[in-house]
Amino acid sequence: MKKVFVLLLLLTLGLYGCTFSQSSVSMPKKDDNRFPSQLNGYITDKLSVPLELGYNFSSVFWIDNERIIVVEERFEDQNDTTVPHKKVFIFNRIEKTIQLVFDGILFGNIQVRNIKPSIISLQSNNKFIIIDISNLKIIKEVAFPQELLETDVSPDGTQLVYSTLDGLYISDINNLSSSTLIVKLQHGLGLVSPRWSLNNKIIYNNYSNNKVTINVIDTNLMKYKEYTVVDSDRVVAYWLPDNLGFIVYRTIGQPPDRLDLVKISSDIVTTIQDDGLIKVQDLQGNIILYRLFDSKESTFRMVLQDPQKTQKLIISKGFLGMDCAKISPSGKYIVFIGAVSADDQPELFIVNKR
């Protein structure tokens, strides 16, 4: 059972996190006059961010409308084990400056949050770090025990929710040795992808042999609600920004994948998209940003859509690979990692709403 659950966990992380993927179709190398490009009122251009020798772009996050957190990664051999070495930079897209804020070993996907002005947090599967970006100093660095499978830190940075082979636990971030079991695994393969909302609720998946349930637990009342999802290989859920519902992304092995909107108050489930190979990138306000595979051209495109509406807006031309897209706080800009042709190295791109 442990091997099955670990495999399931890795597959789900690939959907939830930022894993750059590229189409296998080869296209001829084009001149640099491909950019800037325009589509439906959006301009896509390259973002000239320096890349450390031997590293690849791993993920990106907005601090504000000018500054971007850029994570670069390479894999190193240490004591007969391959480990991910990450460098975290702040890139100012207006001033074209870059500053190193962290250099070290971080496992899994990175999450970045703005805790308060000039204070950000970095979270990986093995560490939680708080950094004062005004002076580039680390305020706090907490290492997680190795037996933790998936983790998420509460929005205020005080609590940790994590999954193990036994169940789901909550712990004070400053006292990881004292934990509270909030959900015990009683049936199924495992509890996957715990994620905090802004109002002390946690969403997670419970996998069994023949179905997936999306559960929401209120940590104040310790009550939970179950939403059943059937006929799905992998499922991930994303809180809506208003925390009154969530987006469910499911894959059933072959396209089409499916996006559903679930409103907690009414239990109404609405299908948003089910016509292709898709992956959620970001959510902001009433807008969902996702990547859609164009089967006719064998390329990926970036799409914006209001979950309450069926019409989608394609905002980028075809890329052989694109991922890790994030919307700026103003909603005017989108940054992502992409490669246009098979001969291109992945680069950073920015989309600007005219």
Domains of the chain, start order: 2-353 (2.130.10.10)
Cα–Cα distance measured from residue 27 to residue 170, given in angstroms and rounded to the nearest whole number:
49
Cα–Cα distance measured from residue 325 to residue 281, given in angstroms and rounded to the nearest whole number:
5
What is the tens place of the pLDDT at every residue in 328-349? 999 999 999 999 888 888 999 9
What is the tens place of the pLDDT at every residue in 223-242? 777 776 655 666 777 788 77
**Residue 288 bridge partners (DSSP):** 283, 305
pTM as predicted = 0.85
Q: Can you spell out the DSSP letters for 37-51?
A: EEETTEEEEEE----
What is the tens place of the pLDDT at every residue in 11-22? 444 555 565 544
* Residues of the chain falling short of pLDDT 70: 1-32, 187-188, 209-210, 228-234, 252-256, 265-267
Q: 3-state SS of the chain: helix, strand, coil percent to 5?
A: 5, 60, 35
Q: Which of 270, 331, 271, 269 is nearest to 304 (CA)?
A: 331
Token pair belonging to 21: 């993927």
Q: What are phi and psi of 32, to 5 degrees?
A: -70, 0
**Strand ranges in 144-286 using DSSP code E only, listed in sequence order:** 150-153, 159-163, 167-172, 175-184, 190-196, 201-207, 211-218, 223-230, 234-239, 245-251, 257-263, 269-276, 278-284
Amino acid identity, position 119: I
